[in-house]
């Protein structure tokens, strides 16, 4: 192959690789409606006409906070990186991204079986164990008395993030949370800072869910990409 032909071939090959990579990356929110998602809002069982917990407003996916519940992907995912860009639009509050979600209403008749990556103001990056479990370094320091650990009820289900200080931007500004799930590990970054890294997770795949947990939260991006390994810190 002549030098010019070789150069042309390499450029074409690079373009192919780029197009494959881009094709693998997809937005789970199309900016128009909630296609690809379904909601589970227990209060709707008694009142089918109750106001929606999740809406699309001006191109943003909005968790209204109440009635409380979850917006859940129709599809199941494994070995992926999910990026969410979010902000508390009115006042600081609570929300979360749930990974490896499965059985609905497994805890308190509300929360699906999963590992929650906390978005609560000043606590973004914490893990909450919801009928599933995960291990982190310094477990007793970050989770509390070992005899009280558990995955349901009043057990110690919260595992604090790596830092003692908040990783979030001021309320009203956009935040970027990245969660990588690979094999039995879950790794979290908030605004570019490593927030948590768990191993020996009791589940390796599942649906992804966003919460309505008392606070209005806007999402402008929910992007998913398959991965073959975890990113470095």
**Which domains occur in the chain, in start order?**
27-226 (2.60.120.560)
For the beta carbon of residue 226, count every other beta carbon within 10 angstroms: 14
Q: For residue 228, what are its two tokens?
A: 């073959």
Secondary structure tally for the chain: helices H, strands E: 2, 16
Q: pLDDT tens across 4-62, in order?
A: 554 444 444 444 333 334 448 999 999 999 999 999 999 999 999 999 999 999 999 99
CA-nearest of 178, 171, 156 to 84 is 178
pTM here is 0.89
Minimum mean pLDDT among 1-10, 56-65, 83-92: which range?
Answer: 1-10
- Compute the Cα dihedral for 89, 48, 84, 106 and give only its sign: positive
Rg (CA), the chain: 19
Does residue 126 carry a pLDDT above 60? yes
Does residue 3 carry a pLDDT above 80? no
Long-range contacts of 163-168 (CB under 8 A, 24+ apart): 163/125, 163/193, 163/195, 166/122, 166/123, 166/124, 167/124, 167/125, 167/191, 167/193, 167/195, 168/121, 168/122, 168/124
Contact at 8 Å (CB) between 200 and 135?
yes
Tell me the pLDDT band of 103, cut-offs 50, 70 and 90.
very high
CA-nearest of 139, 138, 192 to 167 is 192
Does residue 205 carry a pLDDT above 80? yes
pLDDT at 145: 97
For residue 38, the SS3 value is strand
């Amino acid at each position: 192959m002549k030098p010019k032909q070789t150069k042309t071939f390499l450029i074409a090959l690079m373009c192919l690789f780029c197009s494959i990579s881009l094709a693998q990356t997809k937005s789970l929110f199309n900016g128009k409606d909630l296609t690809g998602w379904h909601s589970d809002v227990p209060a709707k069982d008694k009142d089918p006409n109750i106001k929606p917990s999740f809406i699309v407003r001006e191109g943003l996916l909005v968790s209204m906070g109440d009635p409380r519940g979850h917006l859940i992907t129709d599809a199941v995912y494994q070995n992926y990186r999910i990026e969410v860009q979010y902000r508390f639009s009115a006042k600081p509050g609570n929300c979360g991204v749930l990974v490896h979600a499965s059985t609905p209403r497994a805890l308190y008749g509300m929360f699906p079986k999963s590992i929650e990556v906390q978005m609560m103001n000043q606590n973004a990056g914490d893990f909450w164990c919801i009928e599933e479990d995960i291990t982190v370094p310094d477990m007793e320091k970050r989770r509390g008395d070992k005899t009280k650990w558990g995955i349901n009820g009043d057990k110690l289900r919260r595992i604090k993030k790596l830092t003692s200080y908040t990783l979030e931007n001021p309320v009203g500004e956009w935040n970027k949370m990245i969660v990588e799930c690979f094999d039995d590990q879950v790794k979290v970054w908030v605004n570019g800072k490593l927030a948590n890294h768990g191993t020996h997770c009791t589940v390796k795949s599942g649906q992804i869910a966003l919460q309505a947990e008392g606070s209005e939260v806007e999402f402008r991006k929910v992007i998913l990409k398959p991965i073959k390994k975890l990113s470095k810190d």
